[in-house]
Structure 1
Amino acid sequence: MVDLWVRRPGAELACWVRGDGPAVGYAHGMMLSRAAEEARGLHDWAPVTGTRRMVRYDARAHGESSGRAVVEDYTWPRLAEDLIAVAEETGTTDFMGASMGCGTLLWAAVTAPERFRRLVLIIPPTTGVTRAGAARLYLAEAAAASFDGAPSAPPPIFAGLASYPQRVSVGDGLLPSVLRGAAASDLPGRDALAMIRQPALILAWDTDPVHPVGSARMLSEVLPNAKLQVATSEAEVRRWPDEIAEYLNS
């Protein structure tokens, strides 16, 4: 059940709202969706929804949200405009973003810094030199239109997680545009990142080349008010909702 639709140029964004209290938003990773993350079962968000109104939405072309075959729509600065619209529609000032959602959130914070109070940056994606390699892969897979959304084997940290990896959760015919938009994207530059003054909790997990710890460490060095935690086991990752709730309520 969708609780709220946010209408955007070229898309309608499906949103779910759970819990009561001050709002906190959440933006998922590329080729996932709210339902896909629920099926993976890695995080129980009860610690957050116990004290917060949690707003989750499917990015354009993902899950139940619509989209169009326009590459620029899926670049992170453009996705940041969607995130800001969701924040404005729901009165959200605290926001979480994972992977693509992390990149989207950082661009949103650079674009509209007054909109946000606290940030939670989950598994920051490849950036800089490592981003170039990811971009080549995305472009090759966009040309083949055959990307299944996951590596052949999970990172060692999730070797025991049966629900990892997952298939894509992208609308029919839109996968090449999503991939090309990702290939054209990177995190904001260091000078822009250094202007983000909001407190930021950075959560990384080890052994995943798609979300290298180096990206998280770079952010922790550049963002003026950041705290970094690196998980080295699945159990530590599963504790993240408790740690996020404590951080947001501090």
Structure 2
Amino acid sequence: MTFEPGTSHLTGVRGAELAWTRSGRGPHVIWAHGLTSSGRGEEASGMFDWEPLTARHRLIRYDARGHGGSSGTPEPEHYTWPNLGLDLLELLEHTVGDERVDGVGSSMGTASLLYAATTTPERFRRLVLTTPPTMRAQRAVHVRGYLDAAELIERSGLAAYEEAITAEPPPHIYSGPGWTRPAVEVTERLLPSILRGAARSDLPSDNALTALDLPVLILAWSGDPGHPLSTARHLAETIRGARLQIADIPMQLRTWPELATEFLA
């Protein structure tokens, strides 16, 4: 099957239609976004800019199940991180065939990549894991938050949820100009199930992470309890040979696209 570069596509994956685009030239790299965003959402907000990758790679940006232009059903289990990892793997079968790829993820996308890589390690060459989410005991407070948010949406609607998250201060690293909070790119019908799926999720076991045998770069920022440095450091200690880079100020964050491009060269 032929897919034209730069064109938006819909591909059937495990009962859903996933929206995706491809740009650039070279070996493939897939970008996996964070919770409630989309393949372009975090770039549109000024949070990340992965366009430099397209100078050396063909970059696939896709919308996770239930996000952006991708379809989904209101079943929380479909949105757990292991299931999102399976979605990613099947999408790669349709888009790149047997080619080994590089992966870049953010938060939920980092978790999806880790499940995909621990399930089918031969599929990947290298991983860039940005803003790893909470894990193990640290997830308890966020699990409660996800469940409370799901109930808020069902009780008062999506606008109430958006108002609540807008009232929360952003990570200090995004306190300056040039950044807007990423839009919620999930429908009111699906978002409660997506949040409950996140609440049922955790990162892969340490045994699975230890078994990974591929180059990994971890990009983390400080001052964000939803993406704590403790997770990033634990991943760096558990995944053999993983490199950790921490951003404390916006200027350091702006180097991430170049760091990722160099790492994947």
User: Which category of TM-score, normalised to the shorter sequence, fits these structures?
Assistant: over 0.9
SS in 1 for 2:82: helix
Please, which of 177, 183, 195 is the counterpart of residue 167 of structure 1? Answer: 183
Identify the residue that residue 229 of structure 1 maps to in structure 2. 245
Identify the residue that residue 88 of structure 2 maps to in structure 1. 83
Alpha-carbon distance in 1 for matches of 2:123, 2:249: 34
Percentage of pairs with the same residue: 46
| TM-score, normalised with respect to structure 2 | 0.89
Is residue 219 of structure 1 aligned with residue 235 of structure 2?
Answer: yes
Gaps of 5+ in 2: 1-5, 154-159
SS in 1 for 2:211: coil
Is residue 93 of structure 1 aligned with residue 109 of structure 2?
Answer: no
Return 7-16 or 153-162, whichever deviates more: 153-162
Please, which of 187, 194, 203 is the counterpart of residue 187 of structure 1? Answer: 203
Please, which of 50, 61, 86 is the counterpart of residue 66 of structure 2? Answer: 61
Is residue 41 of structure 1 aligned with residue 46 of structure 2?
Answer: yes
Cα deviation for residue 133 of structure 1 reads 1.1
| TM-score, normalised with respect to structure 1 | 0.95
Alpha-carbon distance in 1 for matches of 2:167, 2:80: 22
Cα distance change on mapping 1:150 and 1:85 into 2, 3 Å:
farther
Q: Is the 8 A contact 2:43 2:50 kept in 1?
A: no
Counterparts of 1:1-250 in structure 2, within 5 Å, are 2-91=7-96, 93-145=101-153, 146-148=160-162, 152-161=168-177, 163-249=179-265
Q: Is the 8 A contact 1:15 1:58 kept in 2?
A: yes
Q: Provide the aligned C-alpha RMSD in A.
A: 1.5
Q: Which amino acid counterpart does residue 241 of structure 1 have in structure 2?
A: P
SS in 1 for 2:77: helix
Alpha-carbon distance in 1 for matches of 2:170, 2:8: 33
Q: Can you list the C-alpha shifts for 1:89-143, whole angstroms capped at 9, x where unaligned?
A: 2225111111000011111111111111111111000111111111011011111
Greater than 6 Å deviation, 4+ residue runs: none
Gaps of 5+ in 1: none
Q: Which amino acid counterpart does residue 230 of structure 1 have in structure 2?
A: I
